[in-house]
Amino acid sequence: MKSRPDNPLQARAKQLGITMVERDRIPSSRRAHECTEYARAQGKLHAFHAAVLTAYWTEGKDIHDWAVLEELARGAGLDAIAMRDEVSSGAWKTAVDERVQGAHDLGIHAVPTFLFADRFIVQGAQTLDVLEKVMARAISEPRS
């Protein structure tokens, strides 16, 4: 899905010096989420997650493709074959389902979502001024 010339997210990214690849189609991220749960269990969550985000947003890679995921796993210090075997067997399906349901139970339906002071939820990619206003409100309005 190619971006519109007036896409505010693309404009903000460009203004901040962030590269965001335009794509013709959006790949399923389900497999990447299950691989991420495998990485979490192996103590490599942060390295793998960062690699997936860079691959998707900056490099425009298909994070559903096993070749891509295995390359990212190796780069994060994971056993790519074991990851593929476990994910393919369905070992991490329930963990992802539970995390998605937990997010929905909290009213989260967008990525990214920010939670401030356990009271204020801001969903979607927002400008800094929006986040600053919510932070100020969270500070100035103590819990009752």
The number of CA neighbours under 13 Å toward the Cβ of 36 is 17
Is the model's pLDDT at 143 over the cut of 50? Answer: yes
C-alpha to C-alpha distances, 110 to 2, 76, 86, nearest whole angstrom: 20, 27, 28
The residue-averaged pLDDT of 92-115 equals 92
Cis peptide before 5 (omega within 30 of 0): no
Q: Which residues contact 138 (CB under 8 A, 6 or more apart)?
A: 116, 117, 119, 120
- pLDDT tier at 1, thresholds 50, 70, 90: very low
Domain boundaries, the chain: 8-105, 107-144
Topology of the domain covering 8-105:
Glutaredoxin (3.40.30)
121-137: pLDDT as tens digits: 999 888 889 999 999 99
pLDDT over 90, % of the chain: 62
pLDDT top residue among 111 and 103: 103
The rounded mean pLDDT for the chain is 90
> pTM here?
0.80
